[in-house]
Amino acid sequence: MVHTESKKTTAADTESVNNVLLKIQAKNKVSGSDNNHLFPILKISPAGRIIYANRSAYPLLKVWNCYASNIIPQNVLIEFPVLTSLTADDTIVINSEIERFYFSVVGFPDGDYIGIYGYKTELATDQVQNN
């Protein structure tokens, strides 16, 4: 004979579980787990036109002196030709006077675009201290 124990869930148990879930959600927001807003994400055409840029990409666009829907300046495309490669599968580091941006660059031939996904940023002062 198998003996199973049955436990009824009380309103207090449910409230306790809900409180824990709310605390986890709040902690995740504070810790920056919503990476869509934490790191730059861009979608670029093979011609170098910015199709999409999230808000976190704006500092990078300022460094490039261009806006979303513009073509990336030629000097940037010469320095980083992978930005327009539909076969891209690489990582790059882009430096500015203020920040250093780390990106994964992935080409999507079927979608006819290149995805550029930031995964780390550092302040320029961090660069000096780490060298």
The per-residue pLDDT for range 34-61, each reduced to its tens digit, is 444 689 999 999 999 999 999 999 988 9
Stated pTM of the model: 0.66
Residue 63 has pLDDT above 80, yes or no: yes
Over residues 65-74, mean pLDDT:
92
The confidence score (pLDDT) of residue 68 equals: 86
The confidence score (pLDDT) of residue 18 equals: 57
Residue 39, helix vs strand vs coil: coil
- The whole-angstrom separation of Cα 78 and Cα 66 is 16
The confidence score (pLDDT) of residue 31 equals: 40
Confidence tier at 104 by pLDDT (50, 70, 90): very high
Residue 10 has pLDDT above 90, yes or no: no
Sign of the torsion angle spanned by Cα atoms 90, 88, 117, 124? positive
* Residue that wins the pLDDT comparison between 28 and 79: 79
**Is 65:58 a contact under the CB 8 Å cutoff?**
no
Q: CATH: 3.30.70.1150, 3.40.220.10, 3.30.450.20, 3.40.50.170. Which one for 35-130?
A: 3.30.450.20
The confidence score (pLDDT) of residue 98 equals: 84
Residue 22 has pLDDT above 50, yes or no: yes
Residue 66, amino acid: C
